[in-house]
Amino acid sequence: MISADLKGKAVLVTGGVSGIGLAAAELFASNGASVAVNHLSDDPAAGEVIERLTGNGLEVIAAPGDVSDPAQGEAMVQQAAEQLGRLDVLINNAGTSNTREPIAYDNLDAMTEDFWSKILQTNLIGAFRCARAAAEHLKASEGAIVSTAAVAGLGIPGSSIAYGASKGALINLTRSLAHALAPDVRVNAVAPGLVRTPWTEPWPDSRKNQTIENCLLKRMVEPEEIAQTMLFLACSPAITGQTLAVDCGRTC
């Protein structure tokens, strides 16, 4: 298990009330950081999650807002930084596949303008607007950004053409932001494979097993393992501009 002394540090986790985001929020807070947990304003699970984390003695605050909305996304980042008093790490985790079932790549008619817009506004532009809003705070603290990409952005078939394209673009954005914010801010990404989350839990076993068979380690990734990698990247002073696949050997 990776650990770090994060006392006095402040972290914002977007999409932080379930799956990878929740695991990241809990891990950073358990290592001493003050954590702002972003969630959609109408998410019914948010209150319960925040109450549970604070009840466990973790320093956590709610940061409602939709990163896909320009006004909400930027305001959420600024408000979180103000409430925390500073910002050392931005975990750009909020994302969407915009579909429960995979969409065949040859089904071009399903890739409507609205479908593309929802995915890009959340997965790519949302990540950029949060990074832009956080940039001055992170420069002041010589902090870090860690984004959640996906193996779909590394050439592994994903849930749709649009999803894969958004994650590939996020990987490119990671490199670009590393250049733009250097030397003060380090920018990296994690590319998860098949992760055990509330989103993948309802999938039929046949679908999950097909992916697992293509992994060297023959298992799913746990969200806590992604969070551990995020902590490693956030605290590694010599790493920037990189995307690390955490996929049980899917991309080998």
pLDDT in tens, 105-140: 999 999 999 999 999 999 999 999 999 999 999 999
pLDDT attached to residue 54: 98
Residue reference for tokens 């932001």: 177
Active site residue 163: yes
Strands 60-64 and 243-246: unpaired
- Residues of the chain with pLDDT > 70, as a percent, come to 100
Q: In this predicted model, what pLDDT tens digit does every residue of 54-76 receive, in sequence order?
A: 999 999 999 999 999 999 999 99
CA distance linking residue 114 with residue 109, whole number of Å: 12
Active-site entry in 16, 19, 163, 170? 163
Token readout for 88 is 């050392």
Give the residue among 128, 165, 121, 134 at the shortest CA–CA distance from 147. Answer: 128
pLDDT at 203: 86
pLDDT at res. 186: 98
Which residue type is seen at 100?
Answer: R
Comparing CA positions, the residue from 7, 14, 102, 127 lying closest to residue 62 is 14
Global pTM exceeds 0.95: yes
Q: Are 14 and 93 in contact (CB under 8 A)?
A: yes
Helices (H), the chain: 19-30, 46-55, 70-84, 113-119, 126-141, 161-181, 205-213, 223-234
Tell me the pairing of strands 243-246 and 186-192: parallel
Q: Is 40 exposed, middle or buried (0-12, 13-18, 19+ CB in 10 A)?
A: middle
Is the CB of residue 197 less than 8 Å from the CB of residue 221? no
